[in-house]
């Protein structure tokens, strides 16, 4: 029996380290002589600093330095040096560069002291005089100043229109139109951003919370004029990031600045309030108009989005593009504009763009289905897209119909009464909704290294990250199965720039990208062992046909006679080889990329119960059926989808960062007032992995599950709320006041019309 780990629910190999506290995060690293930094944030949104008095802080015993724009010099003048691998177009923010204030909460000073408490106290003694300027942070009030989103960010392409959507819409018998909004959201991972920087013997070692050690190395080397080989970034564990760690955050700059200047180790971390100052999922408003013929055939799709960005960078997301590929339609008009505001640049947040666009499009599909008096699921099946119409390419694989079928069966969709407000339990109105989701199945170039020692132990390494997704575990599984070793004989290491380079950990591409490199390097080791087995005198396979050999549980055997075997350990000893080391690179097949569209898909079914008197919405059931190619580990993959669904519930009903436009600052910048679900908010969640075989997408046939779990959830819940109440809430989050207000407005409108 061949060693098999891929596809098995292997428990997390890093689980013991995490639950026992031996896993070390960026703030856990301590060295002798450590100094501590505390960052001072601006109190205005726009203007300039007229003066900054640090004398009282510097007078305190134990305070070594206060860094401001007045005493920081020798750094690059050109903004291109501050660009990182995930930077959008524009000029990146440069900390402590000058006296200008470009957003509220901007870091304006760094206090370095012998203790954290002293640094924090000293920061309160710094006096800053500001000259304020007029500013604006309101997207809706500035829609008239929008501009076309430029290309330049990874994965972003301008949306493509086709046909004549305007004319088709006007001619159609059935149509709908609506505007959809959602507020800002912040990532709020449990681990705060923290950096420990150590300058020693001309080398810089940095422990940082990041989703890309190579990106941080690139950034630090460019900003501080250091050779990349002299900068080592280490990040073995990350306590959640969800996209916030893709770009280097400003505490990294601060810690390195101080360590290089003072020639001592420096630790700088952000407070929870400061976690709200370096980017967010942007406020977005969308207009969708759909039309269909009487038999339910989509005649036109019009989808436009307006999203906020900073004044200095053009942050883009793929919001409307999905509407051109999700359903079959010959007439599609798509538009995506940005609005520059006086705030920090938004950053990627789980399923950036797709989760935003899907809420609007899937809600609109539901609305049109009601206009047609057609079941929303049947309406989607009627307009199922067999190919990517935007690019004119087939999908490498697409099992979305199976997602609809298996999800509907598990959910009991056929029992749904189509009429709104027709299902109830006492004063609880019950609603069922459905939505579709899709996400790109990326593969990025990656490298991995294998070291097989004479004791039969295999060490695999790659400079990727694990933000809780299970990367440690699935890479160990891939390596163990690829080389036919017991899983306990394999160790996977990551999060270090001394390891082979890997892409940023994001976009649901890590399993496919790094996993393919791991598989490839293990196959290279296997080839060496095979050659050794047939060329080593004394081996049972000396001069045998290499194609007759198989690897299982640390042994090499004859495929036709398992009793004829030799352990890898004994073979290496016999050959006098102490270790085998290989490095392999893997990347996407450019020809396949030209021929096919690679997507994962999902169908989400949601049940809500709404208090008829109070408008309180509870999500009582969710079924999420996912087609994502080969599932490497059902346990960790299920965990990813569960997390996505929970976040989708949170997005639909709770999460919103409230901006006070009078001050240009987020008001609820803490975990007390930024609402996220607690245990009582989450009920039954069923995850279904639909079987999907894909031999084209990458060598492993995987598509990634990090993003797909969240994308359709908010739309399904919004549709369920309408089914329950007859109230269409288009503004996320769906809070009780909105449900009651819209219901009251609808009643008044009916009364007036009557």
Active site residues: 707
The single residue listed with the structure tokens 């392999």 is 584
CB 338 within 8 A of CB 149: yes
Q: How far is CA 97 from CA 67, 75, 219, in A?
A: 11, 9, 16
743 and 615 Cβ atoms separated by less than 8 Å: yes
Q: 304 is written with which tokens?
A: 């436009």
Buried residues in 524-562 as b, exposed as e (16+ CB within 10 A): bbbeebbebbeebeebbbeeeeeeebbbbbbbbbbeeee
Rounded to a whole number, what is the distance in angstroms from the first to the last CA of the chain? 76
> Look-up: residue for tokens 């031999």?
695
CB 95, CB 107: distance < 8 Å: yes
Residues in CB range of 55: below 8 A, 6 or more apart: none
Instruction: Report residue 706 as tokens.
Output: 């990090």
Cβ-based burial of 43 (10 A; exposed 0-12, middle 13-18, buried ≥19):
middle
Whole-angstrom Cα distance, residue 306 to residue 76? 34
Point out which residues pair with 394 in neighbouring strands: 387
- Across 173-311, the runs of DSSP E, i.e. the strands, are 174-182, 194-200, 203-208, 231-234, 266-269, 284-292, 298-310
Question: Exposed/middle/buried for 9, CB within 10 Å: 0-12, 13-18, 19+?
Answer: exposed
Asked if residue 13 lies in contact with residue 473, where contact means CB atoms within 8 angstroms, the answer is yes
Tokens of 516: 């393919």
Starting at the edge strand found earlier in the chain, the sheet holding 549-552 runs 549-552, 555-558, 561-567
**Backbone phi and psi for residue 274, each to the nearest 5 degrees, phi listed first:** -70, -20
Half-sphere exposure (CA, 13 Å, Cβ side) for 736?
10
Across-strand partners of 335?
A: 304
**How far apart, in Å, are the Cα atoms of 537 and each of 530, 540, 541, 558?**
13, 9, 9, 17
Name the percent of the chain in helix, strand, coil, to the closest 5. 30, 30, 40
DSSP string, 19-78: HHT-S--GGG---TT-EEEEEEE-SSSSEEEEEEE-HHHHTSTTEEEEE-TTT--SS-SS
Rounded Cα distance between 204 and 658, Å, is: 39
- Give the number of C-alpha atoms closer than 13 A to the C-alpha of residue 675, restricted to the C-beta side: 14
Rounded CA gap, 565 and 547, in Å?
14
Reduced 3-state DSSP string for 360-386:
HHHHHHHHHHHHCCCCHHHHHHHCECC
Task: Say if residues 481 and 553 touch (Cβ distance below 8 Å).
Answer: no
What does the DSSP assignment read for 661-725?
TTTTEES--STTTS----GGG--EEEEEE-----SSS-TT-B---TTHHHHTHHHHHHHHHHHHH
Class of residue 195 by CB neighbours under 10 A (exposed 0-12, middle 13-18, buried 19+): buried
Token pair of 662 as six digits: 């009078």
Helix (H, G, I), strand (E, B) or coil at 590: helix
Tokens for 397, please give them: 């694989």
Phi-psi region of 412 (alpha: psi -120 to 50; beta: other; left: phi over 0): left
């Amino acid at each position: 029996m061949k060693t098999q780990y891929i596809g098995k629910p292997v428990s997390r190999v890093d689980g013991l380290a995490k639950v026992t506290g031996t896993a070390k995060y960026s703030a856990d690293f301590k060295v002798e002589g450590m100094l501590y930094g505390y960052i001072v944030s601006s109190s205005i949104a726009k203007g300039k600093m007229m003066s900054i008095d640090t004398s009282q802080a510097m007078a305190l015993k134990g305070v070594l330095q206060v860094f401001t724009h007045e005493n920081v010099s020798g750094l690059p003048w050109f903004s291109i040096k501050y660009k990182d691998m995930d930077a959008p177009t524009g000029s990146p923010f440069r900390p402590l560069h000058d006296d200008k204030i470009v957003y509220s909460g901007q870091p304006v000073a760094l206090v370095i002291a012998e203790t954290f408490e002293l640094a924090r106290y000293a920061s309160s003694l710094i006096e800053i005089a500001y000259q304020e300027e007029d500013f604006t942070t309101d997207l809706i009030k500035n829609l008239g100043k929008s501009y076309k989103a430029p290309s330049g960010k990874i994965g972003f392409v301008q949306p493509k229109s086709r046909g004549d959507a305007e004319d088709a819409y006007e001619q159609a018998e059935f149509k709908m139109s609506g505007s959809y909004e959602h507020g800002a959201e912040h990532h709020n991972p449990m681990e705060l951003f923290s950096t420990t920087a150590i300058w020693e013997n001309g080398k810089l070692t940095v422990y940082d919370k990041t989703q890309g050690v190579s990106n941080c190395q690139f950034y630090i080397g460019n900003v501080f004029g250091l050779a990349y080989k002299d900068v080592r970034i280490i990040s073995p564990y990350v306590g959640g990031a969800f996209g916030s760690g893709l770009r280097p955050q400003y505490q990294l700059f601060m810690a390195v600045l101080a360590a290089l200047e003072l020639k001592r180790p420096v630790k700088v971390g952000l407070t929870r309030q400061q976690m709200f100052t370096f980017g967010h999922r942007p406020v977005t408003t969308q207009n969708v108009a759909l039309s269909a013929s009487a038999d339910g055939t989509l005649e036109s799709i019009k989808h436009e989005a307006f999203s906020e960005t900073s004044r200095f960078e053009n942050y883009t997301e793929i919001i409307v593009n999905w509407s051109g590929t999700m359903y079959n339609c010959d007439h599609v008009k798509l538009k995506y504009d940005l609005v520059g505001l006086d705030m920090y640049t938004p950053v990627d947040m789980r399923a950036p763009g797709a989760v935003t666009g899907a809420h609007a499009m899937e809600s609109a599909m539901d609305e049109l289905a009601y206009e047609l008096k057609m079941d929303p699921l049947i309406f989607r099946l009627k307009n199922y897209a067999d190919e990517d119409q935007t690019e004119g390419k087939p999908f490498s694989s697409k099992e979305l119909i199976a997602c609809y079928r298996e999800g509907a069966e598990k959910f009991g969709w056929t029992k749904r009464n189509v009429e709104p407000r027709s299902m109830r339990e006492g004063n609880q109105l019950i609603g069922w909704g459905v939505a579709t989701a899709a996400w790109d199945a990326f593969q990025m170039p990656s490298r991995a290294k294998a070291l097989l020692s004479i004791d039969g132990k295999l060490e695999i390494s790659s400079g990727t990250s694990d933000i809780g997704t299970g990367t440690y575990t699935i890479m160990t599984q891939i390596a163990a199965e690829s080389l036919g070793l017991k899983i306990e004989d394999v160790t996977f290491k990551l999060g270090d720039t001394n390891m082979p380079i890997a892409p940023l950990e994001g976009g649901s591409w890590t399993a496919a990208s790094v996993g393919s490199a791991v598989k490839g390097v293990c196959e290279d080791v296997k080839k060496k062992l095979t050659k050794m087995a047939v060329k080593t005198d004394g081996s049972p396979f000396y001069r045998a046909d290499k194609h007759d050999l198989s690897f299982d549980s640390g042994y090499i055997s004859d495929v036709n006679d398992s009793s004829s075997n030799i352990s890898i350990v004994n073979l290496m000893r016999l050959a006098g080889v102490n270790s085998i080391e290989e490095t392999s690179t893997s990347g996407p097949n450019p020809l396949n990329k030209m021929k096919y569209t690679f997507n994962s898909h999902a169908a989400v079914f949601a049940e809500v119960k709404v208090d008829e008197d109070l408008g309180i919405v509870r999500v009582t059931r969710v079924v999420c059926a996912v087609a994502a190619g080969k599932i490497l580990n059902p346990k960790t993959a299920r965990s990813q989808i569960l997390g996505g669904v929970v976040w989708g519930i949170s997005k639909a009903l709770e999460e919103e960062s409230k901006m006070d436009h009078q001050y240009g600052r987020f008001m609820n910048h803490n975990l007390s007032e930024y609402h996220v679900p607690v245990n009582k908010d989450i009920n039954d969640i069923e995850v279904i992995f639909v079987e999907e075989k894909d031999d084209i997408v990458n060598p492993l046939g995987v598509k990634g599950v990090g993003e797909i779990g969240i994308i359709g959830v908010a739309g399904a819940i919004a549709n369920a709320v309408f089914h329950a109440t007859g109230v269409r809430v288009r503004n996320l989050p769906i809070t009780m006041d909105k449900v009651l207000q819209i219901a009251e407005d609808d009643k008044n409108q009916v009364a007036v019309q009557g």
